[in-house]
Amino acid sequence: MTHPATTRPAHVVAVDLGGTTIKAARYDAQGVAEETLRLPTPFSRGSDTVVAAVVQAATALVRPGVRAVGLCAPGLIDTDAGVVRFAANLGLRDTPLAAAVAAAVRVPVTLEHDVRAACMAEQQLGLGVGISDLLVVVLGTGLAAGIVSDGRLIRGATGIAGEFGHIPVHADGELCACGQRGCVEAYTAAGALVRRYRRTGNSADSAADITARLDTDPAASRVWAEATDTLGRALATSTVLLDHQRIVLAGGMTAAGRRLTDPVRRSLQRGLAWRTAPAVQISPLGADAGLLGAALHALTATDAPAGQGRVRRDAPARPPTPRTA
Ligand SMILES: [Zn+2]
């Protein structure tokens, strides 16, 4: 069981490619963001334009002395190859994002999944410090998790571990965008909350609109109660499997504070009659956790020679595919 040291990312640039915004920062010798920028993600203008915007964000911040660039993005991410295998919201498929940036900046470039990056930041700088078994659930437009088990960030057999949002909770429940029914994401993600609330005949633009009405609007209370109960049930499933020491909730919906954590804790404990529930807390890292994690991940490349197009992380080698005689 190992715990990573608490280290801030020094002399690196990070770029967080999101569905609506590209965020970037350069971290100084103390690991403080000394220059930041934001660009709208030009997803409607094709994948080449999205890649060009990421390259632009990175090159705008790289200065002499920057040792590496860390990228993070949503979707199916091949960290070893630095390739976005598939990101539906960005129109990217088999896109060699790290190599594209490396060609422009001439320092090592890494690529990590955005939620795993946020989990890495939590593990090294947030509520995960010293915690060997951690679950970080990012509640946003969608819903995904980073898993640390026995001190290691889990990637899974095909690199897509942590698709927490697609844990089926309700038999024959709401149809999810993934094609399955009853997924936690179809109840608890911000988009699902708004959709389910509108179905009651009310209007809302965001999850915050709904949480602002919890004391006065029974429809808002009901949709919120179903969302938090569903999340608690999925957390119980995950806890039974992995025995988390701590669960950290992150993302925009955590602005609801105890309105979120109190009912989630109750639902989680109801699902764990025979054992104590792990602590459920809200991340202190805010909206830039992914960016910070991408910067930390870039540090894993700083012992590699500069100017390399692709950087391999220190992942264990996969066993060879068995052959049948
Ligand atoms: Zn689903």
pLDDT in tens, 32-71: 999 999 999 998 888 999 999 999 999 999 999 999 999 9
**Cα of 66 to ligand 1 centre, how many Å?**
40
Round to whole Å and give the CA distance between 320 and 266. Answer: 45
pLDDT on residue 303: 63
Query: Tell me, which fold does domain 127-284 have in CATH?
Result: Nucleotidyltransferase; domain 5 (3.30.420)
pLDDT on residue 325: 31
Taking only the tens place, the pLDDT of each residue in 102-141 is 999 999 999 999 999 999 999 999 999 999 999 999 998 8
**Cα of 225 to ligand 1 centre, how many Å?**
19
Specify the CATH number for 12-114+288-301; select among 3.90.1300.10, 3.30.70.980, 3.30.420.40, 3.10.20.30.
3.30.420.40
Query: Three-state SS across 165-179?
Result: HHCECCCCCCECCCC
The mean pLDDT value of the chain amounts to 90
pLDDT on residue 323: 36
**Cα of 139 to ligand 1 centre, how many Å?**
14
Round to whole Å and give the CA distance between 303 and 186. Answer: 43
CA atoms within 13 A on the CB side of 77: 23
Round to whole Å and give the CA distance between 133 and 117. Answer: 16
**Cα of 143 to ligand 1 centre, how many Å?**
10
**Cα of 193 to ligand 1 centre, how many Å?**
14
**Cα of 142 to ligand 1 centre, how many Å?**
10
Taking only the tens place, the pLDDT of each residue in 260-291 is 999 999 999 999 999 999 999 999 998 889 99
Domain boundaries, the chain: 12-114+288-301, 127-284
